[in-house]
Amino acid sequence: MKIDIRQQIKEYVLSTFGVILTALGLVVFFIPNNIAAGGASGVSMILHRMVPSVPIGVWLYMVNALLFLLGFLIVGKDFSFKTIYSTFALNFFIDFFDRVLNIPKYQEQDLMLAVFFGDVLAAIGMAITFANNSSTGGTDIIAKILTKYFHTPMGTTLLIVDFAIGITAGFAFDIRTGMYALLAIIINGITIDFVLKGLELSVTMMIISKKSEEVKKYILENLGRGATILKASGAYSGKDIDVLYVALRRRELGEVLHLIKNIDKDAFVIVTEARYVLGEGFKRIDRVA
């Protein structure tokens, strides 16, 4: 299979950008306020609390190295190089921002602001990383191990693991901090889903129009999209009709609707959100993790 070098470079660049945003969210908002919101970073914060002489960044390297070792031994080589890269890139930037660059940190009494802005940065960064066929490893590996032996859904297992880390943070720090950690875990999951939906959302359209040839020509020539003609017949009229079936980026929808409104105000259109559209003109199916 031929490797698209430009696509690979683009994905590594965007994954790195996502990792930097995640690291900023952790270093600026979570770490200074002991908000151990799951993941290897949460485990590292708890271990740093127990052994303060070892920096969080160093703990993070050790925790992820151990997790990947367990993953290779138990789950197998089910990890892409990009995931390994993103995981240790996150380690590097957390340690760099925390100890080397020593960027300003939010240390106030209002932990809700720390949870909110920390989650916004971290979740957007993680969503960008996920959208580019990568992940930041961490407790994903523990979830994979548990899923292998207990056959539980990956998403549920990951949530249980992260919740366990948040509860442990309550014992390591205090109950109030632990509750904020659990809140951060919940908000983080919701925000990642929301951002991913915005990054990847496409739509499909079914268009029934007397001027379907004009609509098809515009879609093919002006948008550079493909279209499928479905042969159908009207249940009431009994006449043969052509139904155009089209997949578009969400941002292209308004343009097509505007066109249809102008050339055939009697057209019948069904628009459906599509979680994934894979193939020609969209994300290649072999790029899906």
Per-residue pLDDT of 164-187, as tens digits, reads 999 999 999 999 999 999 999 999
Nearest to 104 by CA among 19, 24, 180: 24
What pTM value is reported for the model?
0.74
Contact between residue 88 and residue 21 where contact means Cβ atoms under 8 Å apart = no
Of the three residues 172, 199, 226, the one that is the final residue of a domain is: 199
CA 25: distance to chain centroid? 15
DSSP annotation of 55 reads -
Task: Give me the mean pLDDT over the 56-78 stretch.
Answer: 84
Verify that 130 and 234 share a domain, yes or no: no
User: Pick from 94, 71, 96, 97: which is nearest to 84 by CA?
Assistant: 71
pLDDT of residue 268 exceeding 70, the answer is yes
Higher pLDDT, 46 or 155: 46
Residue with the bigger pLDDT between 78 and 121: it is 121
pLDDT for 1 equals: 43
pLDDT at position 174 is 92
pLDDT category at 3 given cuts 50, 70, 90 is low
Q: Are residues 28 and 152 in the same domain?
A: yes
- Residues 178 and 211 grouped into a single domain: no
How many C-alpha atoms does 162 have within 13 Å on its Cβ side?
Answer: 25
d(CA 205, CA 251): 13
- Confidence band for 113, pLDDT divided at 50, 70 and 90: very high
User: What element of type H or E holds 59?
Assistant: helix 56-74
Judgement on whether residues 205 and 176 belong to the same structural domain of the protein: no
125/186 same-domain check: yes
Single-letter code of the amino acid located at 26: L
CB 44 within 8 Å of CB 56: yes
Domain identity same for 59 and 189: yes
User: Domain end: 181, 199, 217, which one?
Assistant: 199
What is d(CA 64, CA 91) in angstroms, rounded to the nearest whole number?
Answer: 9
% of the chain exceeding 90 in pLDDT:
40
Average pLDDT, integer, range 260-284 = 82
- The closest of 193, 81, 175 to 137, measured between CA atoms, is 81
| 142 and 232 belong to one structural domain | no
Region of poorest pLDDT, from 1-15, 62-76, 262-276: 1-15
244 and 166 part of one domain: no
Most confidently predicted of 78-82, 135-139, 158-162, 276-280: 158-162
Same-domain check for residues 128 and 41: yes
Which residues on neighbouring strands pair with residue 202, listed in sequence order?
249, 274
Q: Are residues 206 and 194 in the same domain?
A: no
Q: Most confidently modeled of 5-19, 37-51, 97-111, 149-163?
A: 37-51
Per DSSP (E only), the strands in the chain are: 202-208, 228-233, 240-249, 268-274
Domain extent for 268:
201-287
Q: Same domain, yes or no, for 21 and 41?
A: yes
Is 137 in the same domain as 11? yes
Q: Specify the number of domains making up the chain.
A: 2
